[in-house]
């Protein structure tokens, strides 16, 4: 039958069903003997010619099936069994019994930490079950794989699962790195002598934790970009290529977060064989099963395999091997693949008899396989993630794998070892207390040398320094190059003060109209050429380089690509062609603000991770910054990231045309909560130059743990030269830009402006003077955040030192004695200027851009949001009327004169 698509080799539905009907009229079940024949021939190929030949035969068989009309659906899944079969398992190199004892003690101390903390302070929280399920996954890493950082080797980079923190503390205690007192003060950081933070926080424990991981989904994405950044440093010749790895530990529930899987194709595209994910598949999250009605492991396998990762499933422990071996028909593996996770969870909490009946009892042939085993043995059939040999084999295969990233899907039991206290139960995530019987049971199960009486006190237990356990674990870490986690600043400070570099930008643009973005790009270009810092600069941009006029950098410093440029770019004949290069300096990330931020974090913490002072400049559409990836910014702050975030095309009324989604009047408010972030809204090129120069000095010379947010705009105007003596004041947050010319005028005002709105304020200054006889001083407020922080600091000091000479907030120092009314205009929410109003000598009127943006030109937008020169003039006159300096009727007259419609829309609510 002819079909419309037949010339393209496709069949229509009709053709297919017709063919199906003709050929396969009777339903036909595979006979056991038939399948047995197939298995046998594959086994003999495997034996005779090895796995590569067997793989090729299967692939060709699949192609043959397709050609013959067998519609095999695409599946990236393998059967529900271990990826590494017993015969390919390497020998376990450690002392298994000693390692088991060490692990048991760590289990005990981790549990003790949480139980004790909650006895001491009710509801202080903590997690037992997460580490309980992951202990083997960590211990194999600590004893056999993770290399510490030293002067001679950079070491492995490990993202520990946040809720497993008690386990890492317990190990550090065993290693002699944390005292009993510290453990005692888990979650009590303010106790004398200090305590331990609930989760990994480099801000709080800067010698210990490197990466904050507890906000789920951030660490997998950060780990991918971290691994890529290692390659970037190598390819740019900034560090030697090594076999150091980046490991990230995730919960299976955590993979629900879109960030967790959001960048996995980057990892395979970049062939990051320095990256290993370990997903602890205990099949549970906080409330209950991750996929009660499905199989999270198979779902993850297909996602990762589909993204071309090397996937290693570690599902079944060694006890299953002999049973699997007896299963010549493949019935057991088939049965394993049939159960949904909710059923598996039920099996975990059930008796051996239940397992026999409900799992094996499905088929008499399966029952026969386990006939020799008593019920107790069935209950104790271990899962892969709890079997050191299986975990070791997976890790070994992962570190040896070449050409791409590896994910290990390890099946475990949540709350392993807690028994009645919560093993495998839905409530287990929040279990923090164990009764006496449960404690004794745990103690006995793991052989902790404590009698009944001592046990119920839940003491921390560390064997003597010369015990085999402590000796062994110390020796292992020594062989592996030192302890982990451990954080240190590994880079040397830069030496230059960059005075010469930035000087030219103090002079203004000499009549030329430029935007602050252009001015910034000019500075970036110059920094890139600098002999000391040029190499360290890492420009990061999420597909907006042209928007910001940065395309000239494509050619000069190149776009980083791990494979260079395999094609002739379409614009090769132009001056600014799209040049990709292996040693390219720009990280052109594509459309991912989250990924770009992860690169920013990797580059901004390389001073610690890699001992290299890279200086990231992440420039992006400001509205897609804090608002979209705020939690990454928080993590960056926690990690003591250094660098510059540049919110481009910012300002609610400065970005014309784009409208509601793009016009940013929010980001400076969203920058407020981040304690170590310095936020600036500069108006002129010299302000940016001063801020950048000072920032580089503070972060990279003086080693301060701060980072910067600077908004830059695309409105072109003439950049004036820097007024004498303004430098320090720019950094502090405000300075007088232009004083009133008529200082003797009766009507006076102080006007504040920031960013592009400063120009409106300057126009208002003229209108007020020329039309209304008001003499106004104009201030450029470069940072409301800085003024606010300074103000609350002064206030606090005064409260605590009531008899001493009070500190005066910097804003009060600026305008405390200044005459006249005070008006502030900003392109951001009114709350920004309002934050400092209490330190003003008088009331302050505030104009800002609260509300949704509009697609319009700048003039209309500023009229709509009431932040243009005429509204600034009106606000000033109104303040003068409130002060009794002029009549209200004069204000009304001015409204008409200024052409303002008093009944216009209210931008805040329209
Ligand atoms: C972004 C974010 N949302 C919610 C939480 C709260 N939370 C903490 S642990 C947890 C469940 C974790 O489940 P899973 O990832 O499977 O880890 P497991 O403890 O089972 O290893 C949740 C929801 C969080 N830490 N971060
Ligand atoms: Mg889980």
What's the pLDDT band for 8 if we cut at 50, 70, 90?
very low
What's the CA-to-centroid distance between 708 and ligand 2, angstroms?
36
Ligand 2 centre from 298 Cα, in Å?
15
Strand-by-strand arrangement of the 537-541 sheet: 587-588, 537-541, 615-621, 644-648, 707-711, 677-680
The rounded Å distance from CA 282 to ligand 2 centre is 5
Query: Ligand 1, atom 25: nearest CA belongs to which residue?
Result: 215
**Residue 436 CA to its chain's centroid (Å):** 40
What is the arrangement of strands in the sheet containing 821-825, beginning at the earlier edge strand?
Answer: 734-738, 774-781, 747-753, 821-825, 844-847
> Could you say which ligand is closest to the alpha carbon of residue 213?
1
What ligand 1 atom has the least distance to the C-alpha of 429?
19
Sign of the alpha-carbon torsion through 631, 634, 639, 640? positive
For residue 516, CA distances in Å to 509, 687, 688, 722 come to: 11, 10, 8, 14
Distance 134 CA to ligand 2 centre (A): 10
- Who contacts 458 (Cβ-Cβ below 8 Å, separation ≥6)? 111, 112, 115, 116, 119, 439
| Lowest-pLDDT choice from 34-43, 354-363, 567-576, 808-817 | 34-43
φ and ψ at residue 711, rounded to 5 degrees: -90, 140
| C-alpha 130 – ligand 1 centre gap (Å) | 9
**Between helices 165-174 and 129-140, what is the axis angle to 10°?**
50
CB 815 within 8 A of CB 798: no
Q: Reply yes or no on whether the pLDDT at 6 is more than 90.
A: no
Ligand 1, closest atom to CA 130? 19
Per-residue pLDDT, 27: 53
| 511 Rama class: left (phi>0) / alpha (psi -120 to 50) / beta | left
pLDDT 10s digits, 150-177 = 988 999 999 999 999 999 999 999 999 9
Angle subtended by helix axes 593-604 and 626-638, to nearest 10: 20
Distances (CA, A) of 623 to 524, 645, 670: 22, 13, 10
For 535-544, b/e burial (b = at least 16 CB within 10 A) is: bbbbbbbbeb
SS3 718: strand
d(CA 136, CA 178): 21
Q: Which atom of ligand 1 is nearest to the CA of 214?
A: 25
**Which atom in ligand 1 lies closest to the alpha carbon of residue 255?**
15
Which three-class secondary structure string do you get for 117-137? HHHHCCCCCCCCHHHHHHHHH
Cα–Cα distance, 253 to 790 (Å, whole number): 42
| Rounded (5°) CA angle 887-893-898 | 125
Which residue, by CA, sits nearest to atom 17 of ligand 1? 251
Helix 96-120 vs helix 468-479: crossing angle, to nearest 10: 100
pLDDT band at 536 (very low <50, low <70, confident <90, very high): very high
Q: Report the percent of the chain where pLDDT is more than 70.
A: 97
Four-CA torsion 607, 608, 612, 616, nearest 10 degrees:
-40
Q: What is the pLDDT of residue 18?
A: 45
* Distance (Å) from CA 200 to ligand 1 centroid: 14
Nearest atom within ligand 1 for CA of residue 631: 1
Rounded to the nearest angstrom, the distance between the alpha carbon of 416 and the centre of ligand 1 is 17
Give the atom of ligand 1 at the shortest distance from the alpha carbon of 280: 21
Q: How far is CA 610 from CA 205, 229, 534, 625, in A?
A: 19, 10, 18, 26
Closest CA to ligand 1's atom 16: 253
Q: Measure Cα distances from 505 to 449, 516, 683 in Å.
A: 71, 11, 13
pLDDT band at 181 (very low <50, low <70, confident <90, very high): very high
What separation in Å is there between the alpha carbon of 340 and the centre of ligand 2? 15
User: Which ligand gives the minimal distance to the CA of 632?
Assistant: 1
**Candidate of 255, 285, 426, 431 to mutate for ligand 1, largest count of ligand atoms within 8 Å of Cβ:** 285
Shortest-distance ligand to the CA of residue 341: 2
Over 60: is that where the pLDDT of 14 sits?
A: no
In three-state form (DSSP H/G/I as H, E/B as E, the rest C), the secondary structure along 429-443 is HHCCCCCHHHHHHHH
**pLDDT value, residue 20:** 46
The answer for 387, left when phi > 0, alpha when psi is -120 to 50, beta otherwise, is beta
Nearest CA to ligand 1 atom 9: 286
For residue 483, the CA-to-ligand 1 centroid distance in Å is: 27
Which ligand gives the minimal distance to the CA of 415?
A: 1
CA distance linking residue 72 with residue 118, whole number of Å: 55
pLDDT of residue 439: 96
Residues 557 and 584 sit within 8 Å (Cβ to Cβ): yes
Confidence (pLDDT) at 459: 98
309: nearest Cα among 281, 339, 277: 277
Q: Are 185 and 191 in contact (CB under 8 A)?
A: yes
From 217, 249, 253, 631, give the residue whose CB has the most ligand 1 atoms within 8 Å, as the site to mutate. 253
Q: Are 516 and 713 in contact (CB under 8 A)?
A: yes
- pLDDT surpassing 50 at residue 735: yes
Which strand (E) or helix (H) includes residue 481? Answer: none
pLDDT classification of 34: cutoffs 50, 70, 90? confident
| 75 Cα–ligand 2 center, Å | 24
Residues at CB less than 6 angstroms from ligand 1: 130, 133, 163, 214-217, 251-254, 280, 282, 284-286, 290, 414, 429
Instruction: Mark out the alpha helices in 292-406 (DSSP H runs).
Output: 296-306, 320-326, 331-336, 341-348, 352-358, 364-369, 375-379, 388-400
Mean pLDDT of the chain: 94
Q: Count CB neighbours of 575 within 10 A.
A: 8
**Higher-scoring residue by pLDDT: 193, 781:** 781
Atom number of ligand 1 nearest to Cα 161: 21
Give the number of whichever ligand sits closest to the CA of residue 131: 1
Among all ligands shown, which has an atom nearest to the Cα of 212?
1
How far does CA 164 lie from the centroid of its chain?
A: 18
Which whole number is the average pLDDT over 821-844?
Answer: 97
Question: Using DSSP, how many helices (H) and how many strands (E) does the chain show?
Answer: 37, 20
Q: What whole-number distance in Å separates Cα of residue 169 and Cα of residue 421?
A: 22
Looking at the DSSP bridge assignments, the partners of residue 103 are none
pLDDT tens string 427-448 = 999 889 899 999 999 999 999 9
Which atom of ligand 1 sits closest to the CA of residue 127?
Answer: 19
Nearest-angstrom CA–CA distance, 595 and 224: 9
Residue 458 token pair: 């839940």
Q: Closest by alpha carbon to 902, among 868, 866, 849?
A: 866
CA distances from 304 to 265, 532, 549 (A): 9, 42, 37
What DSSP string describes 742-786? -TT-SEEEEEEE-TTHHHHHHHHHHHHHHHH-EEEEEEEES-HHH
From the CA of 38, how far away is ligand 2's center (Å)?
A: 38
Q: What is the predicted pLDDT for the residue at 690?
A: 98
How do residues 97-125 score in pLDDT, each as one tens digit? 999 999 999 999 999 999 999 999 999 99
Give kind and range of the element (H or E) at residue 847: strand 844-847
Bond from prior residue into 485 cis (ω within 30 degrees of 0) = yes
For the stretch 378-424, pLDDT in tens is 988 999 999 999 999 999 999 999 999 999 999 999 999 998 889 99
What is the distance in A from the centroid of ligand 2 to the CA of 215?
14
19 pLDDT exceeds 50? no
Q: What is the CA radius of gyration of the chain?
A: 33
What number is the average pLDDT over the span 460-474? Answer: 97
* Rounded distance between C-alpha atoms, residue 438 and residue 415, angstroms: 13
Q: Which ligand is nearest to the CA of 214?
A: 1
Burial code (b: 16+ CB inside 10 Å, e: under 16) for 851-872 equals bebbebebeebbbbbbbbbbbb
pLDDT level of residue 32 (50, 70, 90 thresholds)? confident
User: Is 279 in a helix, a strand, or coil?
Assistant: strand
User: Residue 160: nearest ligand to its CA?
Assistant: 1
In this prediction, residue 147 carries a pLDDT of 98
Statement: residue 460 has pLDDT above 70? yes
Residue nearest to atom 13 of ligand 1 (CA): 285
CA 274 to CA 12: how far, in whole Å? 46
Which ligand 1 atom sits nearest the alpha carbon of residue 218? 1
Dist CA 737 CA 759 (whole Å): 11
Are 757 and 651 within 8 A, CB to CB? yes
Probe ligand 1: pick from 200, 251, 412, max atoms within 8 Å of CB?
Answer: 251
Rounded to whole angstroms, how far apart are CA atoms 63 and 70?
10
How confident is the model over 516-533, as a mean pLDDT? 97
Test site for ligand 1: of 135, 166, 254, 411, most ligand atoms within 8 A of the Cβ? 254
Instruction: Decide if pLDDT at 30 tops 80.
Output: no
Contacts 24+ apart (CB under 8 A), 718-721: 718/508, 718/509, 718/511, 718/512, 718/513, 718/514, 719/508, 719/509, 719/512, 719/514, 719/519, 719/684, 719/685, 719/686, 720/508, 720/684, 720/686, 721/506, 721/507, 721/508, 721/686
CA–CA gap between residue 247 and residue 220 (Å, rounded): 9
């Amino acid at each position: 039958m002819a079909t419309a698509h037949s010339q393209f080799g496709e069949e229509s539905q009709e053709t297919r069903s017709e063919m199906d009907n003709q050929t396969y009229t009777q339903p036909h079940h595979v006979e056991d003997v038939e399948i047995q024949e197939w298995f046998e021939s594959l086994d003999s190929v495997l034996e005779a010619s090895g796995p590569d030949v067997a793989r090729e035969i299967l692939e060709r068989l699949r192609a043959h099936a397709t050609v013959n009309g067998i519609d095999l659906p695409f599946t990236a899944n393998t059967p529900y069994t271990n990826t590494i079969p017993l015969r390919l398992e390497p020998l376990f190199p450690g002392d298994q019994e000693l390692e088991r004892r060490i692990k048991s003690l760590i289990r005990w101390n981790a549990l003790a930490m949480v139980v004790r903390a909650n006895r001491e302070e009710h509801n202080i929280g903590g997690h037992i079950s997460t580490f309980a399920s992951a202990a083997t996954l960590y211990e194999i890493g600590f004893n056999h794989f993770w290399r510490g950082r030293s002067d001679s080797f950079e070491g492995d980079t490990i993202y520990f699962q946040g809720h497993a923190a008690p386990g890492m503390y317990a190990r550090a205690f065993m290693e002699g790195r944390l005292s009993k007192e510290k453990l005692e003060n888990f979650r009590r950081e303010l106790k004398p002598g200090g305590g331990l933070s609930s989760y990994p926080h480099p801000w709080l424990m800067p010698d210990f934790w490197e990466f904050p991981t507890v906000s789920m989904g951030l660490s997998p994405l950060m780990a991918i970009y971290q691994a890529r950044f290692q390659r970037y440093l190598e390819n740019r010749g900034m560090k030697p290529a090594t076999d150091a790895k980046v490991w990230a530990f995730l919960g299976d529930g955590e993979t629900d977060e879109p960030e967790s899987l959001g960048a996995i194709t980057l990892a395979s595209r970049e062939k990051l064989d320095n990256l290993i994910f370990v997903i602890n598949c205990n099949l549970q999250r906080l409330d209950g099963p991750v996929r009660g009605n499905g199989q999270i492991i198979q779902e993850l396998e297909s996602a990762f395999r589909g993204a071309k990762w090397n996937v290693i499933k570690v599902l079944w422990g060694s006890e299953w091997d002999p049973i699997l071996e007896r299963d010549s028909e493949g019935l057991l593996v088939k049965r394993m693949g049939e159960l949904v996770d909710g059923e598996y969870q039920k099996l975990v909490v059930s008796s051996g008899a239940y397992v026999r009946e409900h799992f094996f009892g499905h088929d008499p042939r399966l029952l026969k396989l386990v006939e020799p085993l008593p019920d107790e043995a069935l209950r104790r059939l271990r899962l892969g993630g709890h079997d050191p040999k299986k975990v070791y084999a997976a890790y070994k295969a992962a570190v040896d794998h070449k050409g791409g990233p590896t994910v290990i899907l390890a099946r475990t039991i949540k709350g392993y070892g807690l028994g009645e206290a919560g093993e495998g139960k839905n409530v287990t995530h929040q279990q923090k207390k164990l009764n006496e019987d449960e404690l004794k049971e745990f103690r006995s199960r793991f052989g902790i040398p404590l009698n009944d009486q001592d046990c119920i006190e839940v003491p921390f237990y560390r064997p003597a320094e010369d015990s085999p356990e402590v000796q062994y674990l110390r020796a292992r870490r020594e062989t592996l190059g030192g302890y982990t986690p451990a954080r240190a600043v590994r880079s040397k400070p830069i030496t230059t003060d960059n005075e010469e570099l930035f000087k030219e930008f103090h002079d203004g643009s000499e009549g030329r109209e430029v935007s602050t973005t252009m001015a910034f790009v000019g500075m970036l270009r110059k920094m890139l050429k600098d002999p000391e810092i040029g190499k360290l600069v890492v420009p990061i941009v999420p597909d907006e380089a042209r928007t910001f006029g940065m395309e000239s950098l494509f050619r000069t410093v190149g776009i980083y690509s791990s494979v260079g440029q395999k094609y002739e770019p379409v614009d090769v004949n132009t001056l600014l062609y799209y040049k990709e290069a292996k040693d390219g300096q720009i990280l052109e990330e594509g459309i991912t603000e989250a990924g770009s931020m992860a690169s920013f974090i990797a580059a901004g913490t390389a001073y610690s991770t890699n001992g290299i002072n890279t200086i990231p400049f992440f420039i992006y559409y400001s509205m897609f910054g804090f608002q979209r990836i705020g939690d990454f910014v928080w993590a960056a702050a926690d990690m003591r990231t250094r660098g510059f975030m540049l919110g481009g095309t910012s300002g609610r009324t400065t970005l014309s045309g784009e409208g509601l989604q793009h016009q940013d009047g929010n980001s400076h408010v969203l920058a407020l909560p981040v304690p170590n972030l310095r936020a600036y809204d500069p108006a002129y090129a010299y302000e940016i130059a001063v801020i950048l120069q000072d920032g580089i000095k503070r972060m990279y010379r003086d080693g301060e743990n701060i980072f910067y947010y600077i908004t830059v705009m695309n409105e072109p105007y003439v950049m004036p030269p820097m007024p004498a003596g303004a430098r320090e004041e720019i950094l502090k947050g405000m300075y007088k830009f232009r004083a009133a010319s008529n200082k003797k005028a009766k009507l006076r005002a102080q006007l504040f402006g920031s960013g592009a709105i400063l120009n409106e304020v300057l126009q208002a200054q003229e209108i007020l003077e020329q039309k209304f006889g008001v003499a106004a001083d104009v201030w450029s407020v470069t940072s409301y955040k800085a003024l606010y922080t300074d103000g609350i600091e002064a206030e606090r000091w005064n409260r605590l030192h009531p008899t001493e000479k009070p500190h005066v907030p910097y804003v009060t120092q600026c305008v405390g004695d200044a005459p006249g009314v005070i008006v502030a205009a900003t392109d951001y929410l009114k709350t920004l200027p309002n934050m400092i109003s209490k330190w003003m000598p008088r009331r302050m009127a505030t104009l800002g851009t609260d509300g949704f943006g509009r697609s319009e030109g700048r003039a209309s937008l500023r009229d709509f949001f009431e932040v243009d020169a005429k509204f600034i003039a009106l606000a000033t006159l109104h303040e003068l009327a409130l002060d009794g300096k002029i009549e209200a009727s004069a204000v009304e007259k001015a409204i008409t004169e200024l052409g303002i419609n008093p009944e216009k829309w209210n931008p805040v609510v329209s």
